[in-house]
Amino acid sequence: MHIRDERPGNQQDSRAITHVEYTAFKGHPMHAPGAEPTEHLIVGRLRASGDLTLSLLAEVDGEPVGHVALSPAVVGADQTGWQLLGPVGVLPTMQGRGIGSALIREALRRMRDAGALGVVLVGDPGYYTRFGFACVPGLGYPGVPDQYVLAVRFGQRLPQGDIIAHAAFAELA
């Protein structure tokens, strides 16, 4: 498996990412039965507005099989410094082989090296705690139960207050 950055302006990469995220989230229990996934659209919106902090593709034998996106998020009084991880998806046929873990670990390494305060996300603690993510008292995401609001910090600064994700995450009409 090989992890690399999405090539800016490369349509083959953006199409592959759409396919991976769409297929990973198709039929996901977080969506209403029969509803179409929206995660691939979120990535497209982040790309279009130039706000993909990081867009990593995982390839096996040269074929894209996994993807993770990071974008800036406001956390409480902190207008900058925090990054939101997601969406992350792996093709269903390739799940359970460590590809998602490798993408998340590489994303965290990159953000730490870049001097970010930390990374926040909304997700299943059963999966993300293995990467160091944890609930933080005083950290929230409007409309989401606190147990799914997770963060990892790289310095002393604690994430406090509400996470405001990029507008790309707003409900898609």
Here's the x/- map for ligand COA, 12-41, by CB under 6 A: it reads as ------------xx--x-------------
Full 3-state SS string of the chain: CEEEECCCCCHHHHHHHHHHHHHHHCCCCCCCCCCCCCHHHHHHHHHHCCCCCEEEEEEECCEEEEEEEEEEEEECCEEEEEEEEEEEEECHHHCCCCHHHHHHHHHHHHHHHCCCCEEEEECCHHHHHHHCCECCCCEEECCECHHHEEEEECCCCCCCEEEECCHHHCCCC
From candidates 62, 96, 115, 137, binder to ligand COA by CB under 6 A: 96
Only one of the segments 1-9, 46-54, 83-91, 159-167 lies at the binding site for ligand COA (rule: CB under 6 A); that segment is 83-91
For residue 123, state whether it binds ligand COA (rule: CB under 6 A): yes
The yes or no reply on residue 50 touching ligand COA (CB under 6 A) is no
The nearer residue to ligand COA, 28 or 157, going by C-beta atoms, is 28
Among 99, 116, 151, 152, indicate the residue that binds ligand COA (CB under 6 A).
Answer: 99
Closest listed residue to residue 91, CA positions, set 43, 56, 58: 58
Q: How far is the CB of 173 from ligand COA (least distance, A)?
A: 22
* Residue closer to ligand COA (CB basis): 92 or 155: 92
Site residues (vs ligand COA, CB under 6 A): 24-25, 28, 88-90, 95-101, 123-124, 126-127
